[in-house]
């Protein structure tokens, strides 16, 4: 194993060193005794699957989460007291660039660059001329041709990312007298939405930054990118360090093995054998968003999983099929009827027996500020029209019955949905959409933020729907979940299907392997 | 491992977990912790607090009546009450119009201007143009519908905030009113209209108050007992949820603007009938009372939602306070104090009811 002895990297003090960092969320260990050392001038990768603890670690450094007692943090050899206060990282010479970049699209590049200093240094007069010159100098230094007066919204995605990075570096440098080092820049998954050429440009910028002596922590789930840009990389798995590798001595398989882990134990709740039922659902030439010319078919009663790395387009499929997001082209054939996807709307989809359970539970699936009854009866409210209008008592009774069927706790239909736990809210959402026996049921991350018990309940509801003849499509990054409920899994990369797993191949390990290797070639 | 072994293993794991849970429950009881219960307001149970919230405004109104009855005994006369009910009829109708777009999440600042334009048009058509009264009234309703349609078009087609659009159309319609009336007060001599709006009294209360109650009843029925009402509720409270549920959000919003315009037109006829006259400016002060009543009303009967009966109560509550102070010798400034203060306090109260969640009028 290519573990690196950090002490041997030179007499120089590490830019950042973490020892024995743990974090427990409600009994679950998100981080377990994690060590991380980043040297000055190093690009250090931080790899792992969703839920491996990457973001928890980052959030501890950002001062969002307080770690458990006993952890030690040193920055340029100086001990720093944990937990960090929110925003304290600035004084320590740390800067973060998150995936959403934190730029205001309608303001100019210059205004975005300087927003932080405008917020913190009171000034009676801003010399725009001098500010523009300063910005131009910075861009020149990094060999970027960006006009500071352009609104950020008009930049290419990669230029936006670079503006955010340059801003973070400038922040570190402006505070250098205070923390005394070159600083550590933390790039939190900056690449998923960038085209390949953009990623190369971004990496050039990263190399220029470390050439100045600053360090970069590059958070990613993409092994290829980590292989290309990092000097060393630490892999997290289930909250523990699964190894720190020197990149040039490590192969892709070394990384993948540590990311996934060899030993995987999973309990199969539901694993159906494929039936000989007719191919009832077919998608042809679906294009829209990231998705490019995707074809697939499925049978009624089948549960099909869609997965891939973030940004690979799989999660857009349910919304495109439903008409929640306009597709550019493509066709859905359901029970012999052809539906043009460019013209479909949510209303039409519902008429055709298609339902969507979006990932955004309280923003897209149901209204938290309304009672359970109102939420759950919404798709079927016409059934309650009597001679005197809606029969409110019957609606309550119906909501109560659905609550019993889906094990909603507490089953009090007059309660506001907000008052339920995430898992029980999701049961209500699932009940809302499955009650009409849809022909096609589309789900996006159906168990996000859902506890284990409620999760099983959701799986059972989906299994019951498929037994009753629904075709179920489930987009998810939870490989274990896909293994448990899916008959087949399609793996996406760059908007296309790159592999199809079925039967015995549908295992957490195989799915993960195909996702991480999907970028080959 | 065979499938069977796995099942056995799983079940033993579950059993272990359940034991642990029992243990923890015991621990919790031993140290005197109770299982967390969600707040009373959130659970659907009938609790004192919940019921109190619903009827607080009625209680407050009763207290106000008693207080002024003691301080200014003349205010407790039926003559005062019947005149109050009679005078507030048109405002009740106006407020009913307002709560329609509020429910679907839009603001309408133009409804009073619509009312004035509609009333003025009906008056002009009936006098200067000698139209039969019925046609003049239909024209007023038509103008209301047109105003609502224009608002809906600009808000929905161009995606402009309803605040801006209706602020503009309000000023525009005031301009039109001034133009067509030449800045003059139009006086309508129609005994039929006067009869049906103020003369045919029941318990000394003018018909116009009962019209207000009828409109409130219709809106209550639509909100609570029709699929349209359900759709409006979802559009107002979760636009994306509504859209993904197949509700045609834009159509619902457009219809609510148009319905508001229609009801505003109706209010115009009632104001014209009540005063027998109409001018371009004096009713403009009614925008504030309508908003105050709608928001104060949203703290009563169905707390947290704009609702017709709460709004009717709120109109009467505010007017009772104003009249009471006037009986005690206060000047007209009391109106501004009550309506202005009432609006802000009402919104603050309704935010407390909704746990201070962000209000959205996009």
The string of pLDDT tens digits covering residues B80-125 is 889 999 999 999 999 999 999 999 999 999 999 999 999 999 999 9
Q: What is the DSSP string of A39-106?
A: -TT-EEEEE--TTSSHHHHHHHHTTSSPPPTT-EEEETTEEEPSSPPTTTHHHHTEEEE-TTTT--TT
Residue B3's pLDDT is 56
Nearest-angstrom CA–CA distance, A107 and A104: 6
Give yes or no for residue A98 having a pLDDT over 80: yes
Q: Determine whether the interchain pair A418/B3 forms a contact, defined as Cβ–Cβ distance below 8 Å.
A: no
CA B77 to chain CA centroid, Å, is: 29
Residue B9: closest C-alpha in chain A? A267
Q: Identify the band that residue B32 occupies on the pLDDT scale cut at 50, 70 and 90.
A: very low
Q: Determine whether the interchain pair A349/B38 forms a contact, defined as Cβ–Cβ distance below 8 Å.
A: no
What is the enclosing helix (H) or strand (E) of A280? Answer: strand A279-288
Q: Identify the band that residue A450 occupies on the pLDDT scale cut at 50, 70 and 90.
A: confident
Half-sphere exposure of A73 (CA within 13 A, CB side): 20
Q: Which of A176, A159, A156 is nearest to A113 (CA)?
A: A159
Chain B neighbors of A364, CB-CB under 8 A:
240-241, 244
Angstroms from A44 CA to nearest CA on chain B: 39
Question: Please, which residues bridge with residue A443 across strands?
Answer: A357, A474
Tokens of B113: 């201007």
The total number of residues shown for chain A amounts to 521
- The answer for residues whose C-beta is within 8 angstroms of residue B251's C-beta and 6 or more apart is none
Residue A179's pLDDT is 62
Tens of pLDDT, residues B263-291: 999 999 999 999 888 988 888 889 999 99
Kindly list the distances between the CA atom of residue B303 and the CA atoms of B276, B297, B355, in Å, as whole numbers in the listed order.
37, 8, 12
Residue B360's pLDDT is 46
Q: Determine whether the interchain pair A390/B248 forms a contact, defined as Cβ–Cβ distance below 8 Å.
A: no
Tokens of A204: 């050039």
Tens of pLDDT, residues B210-263: 999 999 999 999 998 998 998 999 999 888 899 998 899 999 999 999 999 999
Residues of A in CB contact (< 8 Å) with B are: 267-268, 322, 324, 345-347, 349-351, 356, 358, 360, 362-367, 369-371, 374, 378-379, 381-382, 385, 388-390, 392, 410, 412-416, 418-419
Mean pLDDT of A166-173: 84
Residue A7's pLDDT is 43
Give yes or no for residue A456 having a pLDDT over 50: yes
Tens of pLDDT, residues A196-209: 777 888 888 899 88
Residue B361's pLDDT is 44
Mean pLDDT of A41-65: 86
CA B265 to chain CA centroid, Å, is: 16
Angstroms from A384 CA to nearest CA on chain B: 9
DSSP B333: H
**Coil, helix or strand at residue A501:** strand
**Beta pairing class for A184-188 and A94-97:** parallel
Q: Determine whether the interchain pair A363/B6 forms a contact, defined as Cβ–Cβ distance below 8 Å.
A: no
ipTM of the complex: 0.74
Look at A310 and A521; give whichever has higher pLDDT: A310
Domain with CATH 3.40.50.300 in chain A: 16-260, 276-353+439-521
Instruction: For residue A94, report the phi and psi dihedrals to the nearest 5 degrees.
Output: -100, 145
CATH superfamily of A16-260: P-loop containing nucleotide triphosphate hydrolases (3.40.50.300)
Mean pLDDT of A224-230: 88
Tens of pLDDT, residues A264-282: 344 454 545 455 556 688 9
Residue A157's pLDDT is 79
Chain B neighbors of A414, CB-CB under 8 A:
43-45
Q: Determine whether the interchain pair A390/B224 forms a contact, defined as Cβ–Cβ distance below 8 Å.
A: yes
Instruction: For residue A341, report the phi and psi dihedrals to the nearest 5 degrees.
Output: -75, -20
Nearest-angstrom CA–CA distance, A297 and A281: 6
CATH superfamily of A276-353+439-521: P-loop containing nucleotide triphosphate hydrolases (3.40.50.300)
């Amino acid at each position: 194993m290519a573990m690196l002895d950090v002490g041997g990297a030179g007499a120089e003090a590490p830019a950042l060193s973490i020892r024995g960092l743990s974090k427990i969320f409600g009994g679950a260990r998100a981080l377990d005794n994690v060590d991380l050392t980043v040297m000055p001038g190093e690009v250090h990768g931080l790899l792992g699957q969703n839920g491996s603890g990457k973001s928890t670690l980052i959030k501890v450094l950002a001062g969002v989460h307080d770690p458990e007692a006993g952890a030690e943090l040193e920055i340029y050899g100086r001990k720093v007291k944990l937990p960090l206060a929110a925003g304290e990282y600035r004084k320590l010479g740390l800067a973060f660039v998150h995936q959403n970049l934190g730029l205001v699209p309608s303001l100019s590049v210059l205004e975005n660059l300087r927003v932080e200093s405008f917020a913190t240094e009171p000034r009676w007069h801003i010399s725009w001329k001098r500010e523009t010159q300063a910005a131009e100098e910075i861009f020149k230094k990094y060999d970027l041709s960006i006009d500071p007066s352009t609104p950020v919204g008009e930049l290419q995605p990669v230029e936006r990312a670079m503006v955010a990075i340059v801003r973070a570096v400038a922040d570190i440098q402006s505070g250098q007298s205070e923390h005394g080092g070159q600083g550590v820049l933390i790039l939190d998954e900056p690449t998923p939405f960038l085209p390949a050429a953009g990623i190369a440009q971004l990496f050039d910028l990263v190399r220029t930054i470390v050439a100045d002596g600053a360090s970069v922590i590059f958070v990613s789930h993409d092994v290829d990118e980590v292989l290309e840009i990092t000097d060393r990389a630490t892999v997290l798995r289930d909250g523990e360090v699964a190894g720190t590798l020197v990149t040039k001595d490590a192969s892709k398989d070394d990384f993948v093995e540590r990311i996934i882990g060899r030993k995987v134990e999973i309990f199969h709740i539901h694993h159906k054998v494929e039936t000989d039922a007719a191919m009832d659902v077919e998608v042809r030439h679906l294009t829209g968003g990231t998705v490019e010319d995707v074809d697939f078919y499925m049978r009624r009663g089948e549960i099909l999983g869609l997965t891939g790395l973030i940004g690979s387009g799989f999660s857009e499929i349910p919304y495109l099929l439903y008409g929640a997001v306009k597709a550019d082209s493509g066709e859905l054939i359901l029970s012999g009827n052809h539906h043009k996807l460019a013209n479909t709307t949510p209303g039409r989809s519902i008429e055709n027996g298609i339902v969507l359970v979006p990932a955004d539970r309280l923003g897209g699936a149901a209204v938290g500020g309304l009672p359970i009854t109102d939420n759950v009866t919404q798709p079927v409210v016409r059934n309650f029209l009597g001679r005197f209008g809606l029969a409110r008592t019957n609606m309550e009774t119906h909501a109560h019955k659905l609550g019993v069927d889906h094990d909603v706790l507490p089953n009090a239909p007059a309660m506001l949905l907000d008052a339920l736990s995430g898992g029980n809210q999701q049961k209500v959402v699932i009940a809302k959409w499955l009650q009409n026996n849809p022909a096609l049921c589309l789900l996006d991350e159906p168990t996000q933020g859902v506890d284990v018990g409620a999760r099983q309940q959701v799986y059972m509801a989906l299994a019951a729907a498929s037994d009753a003849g629904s075709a179920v499509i489930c987009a998810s990054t939870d490989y274990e979940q896909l293994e448990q409920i899916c008959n087949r899994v399609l793996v996406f990369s760059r908007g296309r299907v790159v592999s199809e797993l079925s039967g015995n191949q549908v295992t957490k390990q195989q799915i993960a392997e195909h996702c991480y290797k999907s970028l080959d070639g | 491992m065979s499938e069977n072994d796995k099942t056995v293993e799983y079940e033993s794991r579950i059993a272990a977990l359940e034991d642990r849970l029992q243990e923890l429950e015991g621990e919790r009881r031993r140290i005197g912790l109770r299982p967390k219960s969600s707040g009373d307001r959130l659970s659907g149970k009938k609790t004192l607090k919940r019921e109190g919230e619903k009827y607080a405004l009625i209680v407050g109104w009763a207290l106000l009546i008693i207080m002024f009855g003691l301080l200014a005994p003349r205010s407790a006369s039926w003559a005062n009450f019947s005149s109050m009910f009679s005078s507030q009829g048109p405002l009740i109708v106006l407020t009913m119009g307002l709560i329609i777009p509020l429910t679907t999440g839009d603001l309408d600042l133009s409804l009073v201007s619509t009312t004035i334009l509609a009333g003025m048009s009906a008056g002009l058509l009936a006098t200067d143009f000698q139209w039969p009264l019925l046609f003049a009234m239909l024209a007023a309703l038509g103008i209301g519908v047109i105003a609502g349609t224009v608002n809906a078009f600009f808000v929905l087609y161009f995606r402009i905030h309803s605040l801006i659009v209706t602020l503009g159309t309000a000023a525009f319609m005031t301009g039109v009113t001034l133009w067509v009336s030449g800045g003059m007060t139009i006086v309508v001599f129609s005994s039929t209209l006067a009869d049906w709006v103020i003369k045919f009294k029941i318990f000394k209360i003018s018909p116009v108050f009962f019209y207000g109650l009828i409109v409130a009843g219709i809106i209550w029925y639509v909100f609570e007992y029709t699929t349209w009402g359900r759709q409006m509720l979802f559009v107002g409270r979760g636009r994306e949820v509504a859209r993904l549920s197949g509700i045609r959000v834009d159509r619902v919003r457009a219809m609510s603007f148009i319905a508001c315009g229609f009801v505003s037109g109706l209010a115009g006829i009632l104001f014209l009938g009540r005063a027998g006259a109409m001018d371009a400016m004096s009713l403009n002060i009614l925008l504030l009372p309508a908003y105050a009543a709608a928001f104060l009303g949203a703290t009563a009967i169905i707390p947290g939602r704009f609702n017709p009966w709460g709004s009717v109560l709120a109109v009467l509550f505010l007017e009772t306070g104003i009249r009471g102070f006037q009986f005690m010798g206060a000047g007209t400034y009391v109106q501004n104090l009550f309506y202005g203060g009432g609006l802000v306090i009402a919104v603050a109260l309704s935010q407390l009811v909704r746990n201070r969640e962000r209000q959205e009028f996009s």
